Amino acid sequence: MQALSVRHLLGIKDLTPADIQLIFETADNFKEVLSRTIKKVPSLRDITIANVFFENSTRTRLSFELAEKRLSADVINFSASGSSVKKGETLLDTVNNILAMKVDMIVMRHASAGAPHFLSRHIKANIVNAGDGTHEHPTQALLDSFSIREKLGEVGGKKIAIIGDILHSRVALSNIFALNKLGAEVMVCGPATLLPRHIADLGVKVELDVRKALAWCDVANVLRIQLERQQMKYFPSLREYTLYYGIDKKLLDSLNKEIVIMHPGPINRGVELSSDAADSHHSIILNQVENGVAIRMAVLYLLASKVS
């Protein structure tokens, strides 16, 4: 019998490679459950989960909600817009009020890095980080690695390039941690202004030329330009970014090799990824979304066994 080494999923940084393998193996089983006519199992029927979203989300929120319902948990949804947060309630008060209604687990997205870590020190419920500022987005990284494993057989030894806005991306950081733990080679690529300083200290290669990065890698994880997080201009114009860093079918064909294209969504079509590339046979973007539900079921299932 195995169990996770953690009580909360705050970030990939805290997980061991064995934890990640256990999550993957459990997700394999849930993928099979999701292919049945009745896609529901009763495992979490005595658990109540609150999805607390202080920031906008489509995919992650729907994916978590579906995962919770497929596990038969009771689900309540909370979003900051239209709530008392607007009246000045603190994060801890908001969450404590939700917990007073006998909630066992919290899935939280917050615009501030470290918000779930802060909560984990003050409340008893198990916390799953669904994205905190520009810090981590662990379930996204897990489903990305899971999708690579599904497509290429394994993650270890594979070359993964993360391309785009690395500076503002929690997906990039969580992916780097996960891929490193699984033994993959990682490269980050983007304009110098969108690469964090000292990023190479995390054990990743740094490349400024997207063509060289694509020629090197087996898998390209293309990230969105996060205009909403950019307080200043990091490049002259979107058009110029697309010219130098945009990936289209022509560029992929010119590589003359098999390459896997991933994107955590939402895609800015025609900016970082052209439509013909996003919809080509290289792309596993929709597989990522499908695997997201299985991965989140696995995480919730494994953490639920630690609910006191």
Partner 1 sequence: MQKRLIVPDQLLDIMIQRLAHQLIENHVDFSNSVILGLQPRGIFVSERLQQKLQAILGFPVRTGRLDITFHRDDFRRRESPIVANATHIDFHIENKRVILVDDVLYTGRSVRAALDAMIAYGRPASVELLVLIDRRYTRHLPIEAKYVGQYVNSLPAERVLVEWKNEETAANNIWLITKKEEN
Binding window for partner 1 (CB under 8 A); candidates: 25-33, 112-120, 146-154, 198-206 = 25-33
Considering only residues 12, 19, 26, 260, which one is a binding residue for partner 1 as defined by CB under 8 A?
A: 26
CB of 35 to partner 1, least distance (A): 10
- HSE-CB at 52 with a 13 A cutoff on CA atoms is 31
Considering only residues 17, 18, 46, 76, which one is a binding residue for partner 1 as defined by CB under 8 A?
A: 46
In sequence order, the β-bridge partners of residue 197 are: none
d(CA 105, CA 89): 21
Asked if 149 and 24 count as a contact pair (C-beta separation under 8 A), the reply is yes
According to the binding rule CB under 8 A, does residue 16 interact with partner 1? Answer: no
Binding window for partner 1 (CB under 8 A); candidates: 34-42, 60-68, 81-89, 131-139 = 34-42
Considering only residues 25, 93, 154, 209, which one is a binding residue for partner 1 as defined by CB under 8 A?
A: 25
DSSP letters along 20-48, please?
HHHHHHHHHHHHHHHTSSS----TTTT-E
Considering only residues 9, 12, 15, 22, which one is a binding residue for partner 1 as defined by CB under 8 A?
A: 22
Helix axis angle for 138-152 and 285-304, nearest 10°, is: 120
Nearer to partner 1, 42 or 88 (CB): 42
Considering only residues 16, 17, 32, 239, which one is a binding residue for partner 1 as defined by CB under 8 A?
A: 32
Tell me the C-alpha to C-alpha distance, in Å, between residue 120 and each of 7, 19, 89, 127, 257: 9, 19, 18, 7, 46
Tell which residue, 9, 215, 250, 204, has the closest CA to residue 119.
9
Q: Which residues bind partner 1 (CB under 8 A)?
A: 1-3, 22, 25-26, 28-29, 32-33, 36-38, 40-43, 46, 301-302, 304-305, 307
